[in-house]
Amino acid sequence: MIELPPLPYAKDALAPHISADTLSFHHDKHHKTYVDTGNKLIEGTEYEKLPLEEIITRSAKNPEHKKIFNNAAQAWNHTFYWHSMAPNGGGEPTGKLAEKIKADFGSYEKFAEAFKAAGAGQFGSGWVWLTLAGGKLKILATANADNPLTHGEVPLLTSDVWEHAYYLDFQNRRPDYLATFLDKVVNWKFAEQNFANPENAIKAA
């Protein structure tokens, strides 16, 4: 069964950067719909009792199960996204992750520009991720429900670039939303935990 975890903070905890209205619609309606639809689709199937991550990786390989993949992956992506933000977040990471970002991107500033460019440049709906792949940090942009689990990469953090993630607060200004995400709400502690323990990073919560 796919579950809808509660937000890891109050709905107004990210305001004024991400409003309570946005989180209410996004979590209680969009995320919940993916969970409810996913559970209906897997009922009575081979996926019914599998962990969410396994539902995603198995259904991704079967074109006939695209609807299952879309809803399961979106349920997982959203939970990971909620944890990628935190009250009083934003700014630069510290410790080993900060050192790795400098080593692989040249500087935090270069990483931030590349992350924002990838997110802003993602055509239509999707996600932008910081991942670990082959021992190197990488920025991955994915369309629709796709995520790093289907690419064999370790997710460290993500930003949702579907319009419903930002339209109430930023209208069509996706670049401003991505800048605010990094400057004000990104949860580097979550990313640092995933970097330190990549075997646990695929577990969204």
Amino acid letter, 37: T
Give the CATH number of domain 95-200.
3.55.40.20
In sequence order, the β-bridge partners of residue 129 are 140, 158
Correct CATH for 20-83 of 1.10.10.10, 3.30.420.40, 1.10.8.60, 1.10.287.990: 1.10.287.990
Question: pTM for the whole thing?
Answer: 0.96
Give pLDDT, residue 204.
54
Span 42-70, pLDDT tens digits: 999 999 999 999 999 999 999 999 999 99
Helices assigned H by DSSP within the chain: 20-25, 32-42, 52-59, 66-83, 95-105, 108-121, 167-170, 174-180, 188-196
Mean pLDDT for 73-101 is: 97
Q: How far is residue 165 CA from its own chain's centroid?
A: 11
Span 167-199, pLDDT tens digits: 999 999 999 999 999 999 999 999 999 999 887
